[in-house]
């Protein structure tokens, strides 16, 4: 199999995925603009209210503008790093739709990976536009190097989330519904990754525990890299997120091999 | 020459959960789940040579679709040997995937939200079809199926018949060696059914593609298949030329008789002949054992005001109906 042929399969799948996203205009706009709306209606107002309380000037070293800057970066990390591939995948399995992908000479994993890539590329564009807007508003400051490193780190985060979503999605081989697990995973990771509140606000013992888990690397670390306040060596940070991605990939491959044997192709 | 399909002792079991109806059953099944292993296919032996068109027949739940899923590598057999074009299907090698196609009448394989042409272009990349070949095949298929004006319409906007034409196109663009057609005409009107059948016949004739077909429409099977494999309760019960299919019911002839006026349905003459009457008792269809044919026909002609009497082979539809109603007719399980 030539590399060029494989690349053109990925390219064609990405194009199809874009066509599918664009087929439903409102859905597409909401998916893309959702996080921006959440930011303005919830996060900005919430932190304005907290810092508006009497006597609150800083929280663990974060003043209001630093907190808003932190939350903007959380949004950017979410755009580039978070994906939603698991939802379609579980449904494909449950309704027997993956049968078609098992017959095409392009793997199921590859199909979902390229669809995921298609969405993340759109999100990268949205992140870029948002970043230009918030920089013009003076909410964030960054250097070109930090921006590049941050985007690179977010790509690693995206890799991790893709594997985790794939893993949870293919549990549909055994479970009727996987959305509860997905919601739990997102909720837990939102909290422990620093997407809701910066990890500095957490007690020291909890932060030590979290160091051994993937969570801090999903939001807190990339936010710190973007804002230029990550004061630890970068290489281990990259190494750890890639290691967690590798572990998730290994688990997903193992579960896939087991699951495909249990697959009954229901509905055909 | 490698067989298109080779099965030896092929078997597949499925695990089913038993749940009592109602809320109490749901609560009980939450704590204790009762599973039962049920054989869907057992001891299946089959050899299909390249270029054959074979009809897999049987009632719902007989195991036809399970066989199709195993042949295409979608599910893994529980035991036995299975090779399709020399490949083990469930290993799903890319070389194997390029040689086969599956069309499911009840399930679209095209992307619902985009025009069929976009799906075809994607499949061109997946199957690595060179541009010139792709354009030529697309042109041929478009002409044969008369779908030029539909290529740029979103699949979800197509009628069932139009969609099925697109599904067939999608499955044939890479010129597979074996095509599996699972109920390709289901839900279509008579004209659309005939169009699809004519197309499959023409395509098969030109390309010598091996075609495995399942259909509940006996007209499909009659028009397309020279060979029939009957599947009942997961086992093979008949495998042979379609013209011999009626022999599964024993050596019998199908006789249809018209009368001048109504005749008595209670006559002893009709006993054991599986008589099927029209409403005003002026027409009857009978199944007469070959060794009684002369005597019975003579008696009918002598005793009743017959206007016409015709004898023909038992239509496949009627054989299937008989078998579904009275499976015990298949006396010899090794047939």
Question: pLDDT tens for residues B186-205?
Answer: 877 888 888 888 889 988 98
Interface with chain A: mutation pick from B92, B126, B175, B177, highest number of A CBs within 10 Å: B126
The answer to whether the Cβ–Cβ distance between A12 and B122 falls below 8 Å is yes
By the CB < 8 Å criterion, does A88 face chain B?
no
**DSSP codes joined into one string, A243-257:** HHHHHHHHHHHHHHH
Q: What is the pLDDT of residue A86?
A: 62
Domains held by chain B: number: 2
**Structure pTM?**
0.80
Q: Does one domain contain both B262 and B240? A: no
What b-and-e string marks burial along B295-311, b requiring 16 or more CB atoms within 10 Å of the CB?
ebbeebeeebeeeeeee
Q: Does one domain contain both B51 and B181? A: yes
Residue B34 inside a domain? The answer is: no
d(Cα A263, Cα B1) in Å, to the nearest integer?
32
Residue B33 inside a domain? The answer is: no
Checking if the pLDDT of B68 tops 80, the result is yes
Reported as a single tens digit per residue, the pLDDT across A246-267 is: 999 999 999 988 888 878 776 5
By the CB < 8 Å criterion, does B93 face chain A?
no
Q: Does one domain contain both B109 and B231? A: yes
* CATH number of the domain enclosing B59: 3.40.50.300
Residue B37 inside a domain? The answer is: no
Q: Does one domain contain both B57 and B193? A: yes
The answer to whether the Cβ–Cβ distance between B121 and A12 falls below 8 Å is yes
ipTM above 0.85, yes or no: no
Q: What is the pLDDT of residue B329?
A: 66
By the CB < 8 Å criterion, does B91 face chain A?
no
Residue B303 inside a domain? The answer is: yes
Q: What is the pLDDT of residue A56?
A: 78
Q: Does one domain contain both B213 and B321? A: no
Q: Does one domain contain both B188 and B113? A: yes
d(Cα B212, Cα B193) in Å, to the nearest integer?
17
Say how many C-beta atoms besides its own lie within 10 A of residue B50's C-beta. Answer: 15
Task: Region of B210 please: left (phi>0), alpha (psi -120 to 50) or beta.
Answer: beta
Checking if the pLDDT of B331 tops 70, the result is no
Q: How far is CA A169 from each of CA A184, A192, A215, B332, rounded to the nearest angstrom?
A: 13, 22, 20, 48
Residue B40 inside a domain? The answer is: no
Task: Region of B160 please: left (phi>0), alpha (psi -120 to 50) or beta.
Answer: alpha
Residue B8 parent element (H or E): strand B5-18
Residue B36 inside a domain? The answer is: no
| Average confidence score pLDDT of chain B | 86
Reported as a single tens digit per residue, the pLDDT across B12-60 is: 988 777 777 777 777 777 677 777 788 889 999 999 999 999 999 888 8
* CATH number of the domain enclosing B274: 3.30.70
Domain range for B325: 250-329
The pairing of beta strand A58-59 with beta strand A62-63: antiparallel
Tell me the nearest-neighbour CA distance from A94 into chain B, angstroms. Answer: 14
Q: What is the pLDDT of residue B313?
A: 65
Q: Are B3 and B83 in contact (CB under 8 A)?
A: yes
Q: Does one domain contain both B152 and B255? A: no
Residue B137 inside a domain? The answer is: yes
Reported as a single tens digit per residue, the pLDDT across B270-294 is: 888 888 898 889 999 888 888 888 8
- Among candidate residues B245, B266, B290, the one where a domain is terminated: B245
- Bridge-partner residues for B107, per DSSP? none
User: Minimal CA–CA distance to A103: which of B69, B2, B118?
Assistant: B69
Say how many C-beta atoms besides its own lie within 10 A of residue A143's C-beta. Answer: 10
Residue B29 inside a domain? The answer is: no
- Among candidate residues B187, B220, B245, the one where a domain is terminated: B245
Checking if the pLDDT of B137 tops 50, the result is yes
By the CB < 8 Å criterion, does A228 face chain B?
no
Q: Does one domain contain both B63 and B208? A: yes
Q: Report, as ranges of residue numbers, the positions in chain A whose pLDDT lies below 70.
A: 1, 84-87, 266-268
- pLDDT interval class at B335 (50, 70, 90): very low
Between B48 and B185, where is the model more confident? B48
- Among candidate residues B197, B213, B245, the one where a domain is terminated: B245
- CA torsion, points B246, B249, B252, B257, in degrees to nearest 10? -80
- pLDDT interval class at B332 (50, 70, 90): low
Which token pair is A88? 């379609």
The answer to whether the Cβ–Cβ distance between A12 and B72 falls below 8 Å is no
Of A8, A260, A268, the CB nearest to B104: A268
d(Cα B241, Cα B229) in Å, to the nearest integer?
9
Q: What is the pLDDT of residue A87?
A: 66
Reported as a single tens digit per residue, the pLDDT across B206-254 is: 889 999 999 888 888 888 898 999 888 888 988 999 878 777 766 778 8
Q: Does one domain contain both B186 and B262? A: no
Percent of chain B with pLDDT over 70: 94
Q: Does one domain contain both B176 and B58? A: yes
Q: Does one domain contain both B175 and B298? A: no
Q: Does one domain contain both B216 and B268? A: no
Which token pair is B242? 């379609």
């Amino acid at each position: 199999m030539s590399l060029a042929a494989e690349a053109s399969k990925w390219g064609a799948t990405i194009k199809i995925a874009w066509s599918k996203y664009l087929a439903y205009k409102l859905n597409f706009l909401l998916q893309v603009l959702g996080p921006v709306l959440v930011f303005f209606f919830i996060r900005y107002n919430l932190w304005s209210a907290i810092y508006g309380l009497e006597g609150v000037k800083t929280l663990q070293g974060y003043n209001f503008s630093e907190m808003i800057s932190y939350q903007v970066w959380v949004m950017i990390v979410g755009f580039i790093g978070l994906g939603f591939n698991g939802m379609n995948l579980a449904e494909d399995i449950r309704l027997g739709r993956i049968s078609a992908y098992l017959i095409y000479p392009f793997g199921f994993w590859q199909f979902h990976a390229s669809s995921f890539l298609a969405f993340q590329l759109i999100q990268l564009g949205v992140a870029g536009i948002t970043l230009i807007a918030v920089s013009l508003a003076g909410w964030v400051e960054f250097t070109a190097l930090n921006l590049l490193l941050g985007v690179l780190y977010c790509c690693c985060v995206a890799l991790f989330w893709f594997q985790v979503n794939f893993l949870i999605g293919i549990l549909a081989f055994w479970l009727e519904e996987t959305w509860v697990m997905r919601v739990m995973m997102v909720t837990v990771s939102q909290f422990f990754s620093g997407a809701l509140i910066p990890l500095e606000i957490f007690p020291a013992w909890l932060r030590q525990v979290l160091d051994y888990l993937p969570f801090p690397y999903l939001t807190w670390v990339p936010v710190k890299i973007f804002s230029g306040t990550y004061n630890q060596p970068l290489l281990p940070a990259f190494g750890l997120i890639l290691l967690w991605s590798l572990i998730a990939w290994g688990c997903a491959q193992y579960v896939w091999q087991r699951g495909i044997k249990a697959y009954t192709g229901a509905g055909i | 020459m490698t067989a298109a399909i080779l099965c030896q002792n092929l078997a597949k079991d499925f695990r089913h959960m038993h749940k009592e109806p109602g809320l109490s059953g749901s609560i009980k099944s939450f704590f204790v789940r009762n599973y039962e292993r049920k054989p869907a296919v057992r001891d299946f032996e089959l050899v299909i040579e390249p270029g054959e068109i074979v009809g897999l027949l049987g009632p719902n739940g007989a195991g036809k679709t399970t066989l199709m899923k195993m042949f295409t590598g979608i599910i893994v057999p529980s035991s036995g040997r299975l090779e399709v074009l020399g490949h083990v299907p469930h290993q799903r090698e890319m070389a194997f995937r390029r040689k086969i196609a599956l069309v499911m009448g009840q399930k679209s394989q095209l992307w619902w939200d985009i025009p069929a042409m976009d799906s075809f272009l994607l499949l061109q990349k997946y199957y690595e079809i060179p541009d010139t070949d792709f354009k030529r095949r697309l042109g041929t298929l478009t002409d044969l199926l008369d779908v030029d004006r539909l290529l740029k319409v979103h699949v979800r906007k197509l009628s069932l018949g139009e969609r099925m034409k697109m599904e067939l196109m999608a499955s044939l663009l890479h010129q597979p060696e074996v095509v599996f057609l699972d109920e390709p005409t289901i839900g279509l009107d008579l004209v659309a059914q005939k169009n699809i059948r004519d197309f499959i016949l023409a395509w098969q004739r030109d390309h010598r593609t091996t075609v495995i077909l399942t259909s509940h429409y006996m007209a499909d099977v009659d028009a397309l298949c020279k060979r029939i494999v009957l599947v009942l309760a997961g086992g093979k019960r008949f495998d042979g030329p379609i013209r011999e299919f009626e022999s599964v019911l024993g050596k019998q002839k199908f006789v249809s008789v018209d009368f001048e006026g109504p005749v008595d349905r209670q006559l002893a003459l009709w006993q054991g002949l599986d008589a099927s009457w029209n409403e005003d008792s002026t027409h009857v269809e009978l199944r007469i054992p070959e060794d009684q044919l002369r005597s019975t026909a003579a008696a009918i002609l002598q005793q009743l005001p017959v206007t016409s009497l015709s004898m023909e082979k038992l239509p496949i539809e009627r054989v299937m109906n008989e078998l579904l109603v009275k499976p015990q007719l298949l006396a010899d399980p090794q047939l």
